[in-house]
Chain A
């Protein structure tokens, strides 16, 4: 940690972890120091008062997600930490290129496995991992999509290790959520902490809705030059409903539920006061399973009968495409570095976290022999459920984990414990280090665009490595510095 911070925050100790504010970076310039000085200037009591006012603001605005437990639903805000996370211009340059690379590979992979399957024939990835995957959709076979884009909206979870190197932890190519918080957090910062931001040039985040709508229009069926885009939500009881509203508003398109849509002659219409109106692109926030009761789950009340037929007839675009889940599977993830190389002929710009695949004898043995040192994850789950962190688990927990893996090895992967980077966070003890990750969002129509920054999720509990909102994580505003302060760069 550099000297400036030692003087300002004598009690702040990030330990062996990379700190997103106090660790010296070549092109951060004076910004981290300014931030720390300004925070000191405001003082802890005033910070707490303002943070609490900011949270009230979020409640009043209904910026909430819903947590379900025991059949009760509670509206919660995503805890907001008022100390921003700062990414420098060069860090962002790398992240942006790496995200585009990753998405290009994901889409090429999806086009291939739903086409000739060359990647399997060439032995890059085992056939059963692809075709035996529960998220593989045979309906997609030999069905071309516009511009070869399957994953129109992607969220890639990236962490930073003890050395300050970024690593990809997970791809989210189905219906990634969280982007609304990126934009809302910035608005909240502008309202509540304008003095923290004064004079610091940041990359803006308010272009997301326009970009998304443009991409949705690009991928619409070619039959119209004025496509009708809608956002399909499961409805107000979905935990991400706030985000669905946010996206519909930002795009300026109707938020529909299944009952609003109807299919006639393989065309999709929405029911309006003036009768049926044609729909061309559906940004769906509904899992594949629920889309069309005629094709998938017959008991789905949330979907639209005939939707898949209309899609296969080329009369409507569904984004993300059906069947993208096979690409963001945690087991397929392990092969992503090879997949990137295979399609793009490039090394990954950001590496995976080393991953042991329990379906492979070698990976299983290594995992079982080192359970107490590894993080074990079920491949089918999201939201941080089912994860065991070896070094922090009790004997009983480790044995339970061993039993679960042995019962169904194909369902498990393991990874070394990564010392996630930390950032100064307003906590019970004052300003303290808390672990965090980053989820940038990538929109792809004809080409890819990355929203500057992304969602920084922070574990609010001291020492905790689990940042998921469903597990009590919070979020921070993520600043991407618009100018580089590196020597030689023009400021």
Chain B
């Protein structure tokens, strides 16, 4: 309608939307990771599996500083109950809601209501909910909660600039989390003995695929006797899997391009270049080469590039409203600790 005008978007709100989406995405993926970690437990070796979760999130220092000791129960509490841990699920949900409060004028009433209800649910999780089969149920509820949020957002949020920034946050966080899901496979222990090892390996890859919601799609696509390389390909490079890193990066690229084209945000240029670079990193080399030189280091490199992409977006769009803060890393630090 020609008599409607572009209301513009406050830099602060753009940042808030970006981070709200990241926090929610983080909650869903952490729930997925916890769920899969439980399936990696082997009798007598529970601690090793749970410590793997701490490692892939680079939370070793944080975990010990919070006064926890290295065992399965403590890791679960660290992520599901400890509000003081900034990487925990309750802290992320609280951060998402704090952002949502500032964004309330841009959100639908349905979105806001669901966030309030979800936050209340998360704040009521008890130590008993982390025991035995209850844990998986809690993870399912957490996933459901975030997916309800995502669905309500898709169905009710007006798709102007703000929606693009929300989506950017979501896809960047999801890409990052998918690399961690792949990484966790490499922290899992394998039994001795060729046959046991082969079976365990298969089970673990299936668990990773399930965690990434890709199990059935992968089965339809993969050869009967699939190799680890196929799974890595699916999670990193598949163009159609909603959680593959490549799909997330492509969506980021196209959203940045839309922001430039539809809203004249020419500052997107640097971030677009960074996204292109990242895409090149994902598809440039044969997987066999990457696996041979070390997947873990490669995933680290992808994570660093994702951080650089987020930083470029921050420099282009968010920094302006906080002139006191010079670098987007500082801005991110402020947001992370806000």
Q: Which of A254, A270, A275 contacts B105 (CB 8 A)?
A: A254
Min C-beta distance of B267 to chain A, whole Å: 8
Contact A257 B8 (CB under 8 A): no
Contact B12 A259 (CB under 8 A): yes
Q: Which of A59, A248, A255, A271 contacts B320 (CB 8 A)?
A: A271
If A254-B13, A255-B104, A271-B11 are given as contacts, then 7 extra A-B residue pairs at C-beta distance below 8 Å, sorted by A number, are A241-B101, A248-B105, A255-B105, A256-B10, A260-B12, A272-B8, A274-B8
Instruction: Kindly state the separation between the CA atoms of A215 and B71 in the bound complex, as whole angstroms.
Output: 63
Contact B11 A254 (CB under 8 A): no
Report A230-255 residues with CB < 8 Å from chain B CB. Answer: 235-236, 241, 245, 248-249, 252, 254-255
Contact B113 A60 (CB under 8 A): yes
Instruction: Kindly state the separation between the CA atoms of A424 and B265 in the bound complex, as whole angstroms.
Output: 58
Instruction: Kindly state the separation between the CA atoms of A241 and B117 in the bound complex, as whole angstroms.
Output: 19
List of A residues within 8 angstroms of B116 by Cβ: 59-62
Does B125 touch A at the CB level, under 8 Å? no
Does B63 touch A at the CB level, under 8 Å? no
Nearest to B101 among chain A residues (CB) is A236
Report B307-324 residues with CB < 8 Å from chain A CB. Answer: 317, 320-322
What total of chain A residues lie within 8 Å of the partner, measured CB to CB?
25
Q: Which of A59, A245, A273 contacts B317 (CB 8 A)?
A: A273
5 CB < 8 A contacts A-B: A61-B112, A255-B104, A260-B12, A271-B12, A274-B8
Does B231 touch A at the CB level, under 8 Å? no
Does A226 touch B at the CB level, under 8 Å? yes
Give the interface of A toward B (CB within 8 A).
59-62, 226, 235-236, 241, 245, 248-249, 252, 254-257, 259-260, 270-275, 277
List of A residues within 8 angstroms of B43 by Cβ: none
List of B residues within 8 angstroms of A260 by Cβ: 10-12, 321
Mark contacts of B83-124 with chain A using CB atoms, 8 A cut-off: 1 yes-contact digit, 0 otherwise: 000000000000000100110110001001100110000000
Instruction: Kindly state the separation between the CA atoms of A271 and B13 in the bound complex, as whole angstroms.
Output: 10
Does B7 touch A at the CB level, under 8 Å? yes
Contact A61 B113 (CB under 8 A): yes
Q: Which of B8, B259, B317 contacts A277 (CB 8 A)?
A: B8
List of B residues within 8 angstroms of A59 by Cβ: 116
Mark contacts of B1-25 with chain A using CB atoms, 8 A cut-off: 1 yes-contact digit, 0 otherwise: 0000101111111100000000000
List of B residues within 8 angstroms of A249 by Cβ: 104-105
Min C-beta distance of A210 to chain B, whole Å: 16
List of A residues within 8 angstroms of B265 by Cβ: 273-274
Contact B5 A259 (CB under 8 A): no
Contact A273 B8 (CB under 8 A): yes
List of B residues within 8 angstroms of A270 by Cβ: 8, 10
Instruction: Kindly state the separation between the CA atoms of A226 and B10 in the bound complex, as whole angstroms.
Output: 19
List of B residues within 8 angstroms of A277 by Cβ: 8
Does B264 touch A at the CB level, under 8 Å? yes
Min C-beta distance of A243 to chain B, whole Å: 11
Does B263 touch A at the CB level, under 8 Å? yes
Report B281-320 residues with CB < 8 Å from chain A CB. Answer: 317, 320
Instruction: Kindly state the separation between the CA atoms of A248 and B117 in the bound complex, as whole angstroms.
Output: 23
Q: Which of B8, B105, B112, B321 contacts A259 (CB 8 A)?
A: B321
Nearest to A276 among chain B residues (CB) is B320
Does B161 touch A at the CB level, under 8 Å? yes
List of A residues within 8 angstroms of B117 by Cβ: 60
Instruction: Kindly state the separation between the CA atoms of A248 and B265 in the bound complex, as whole angstroms.
Output: 25
Min C-beta distance of B248 to chain A, whole Å: 21
List of A residues within 8 angstroms of B13 by Cβ: 254
List of A residues within 8 angstroms of B11 by Cβ: 260, 271-273
Nearest to B268 among chain A residues (CB) is A273
Contact A274 B105 (CB under 8 A): no
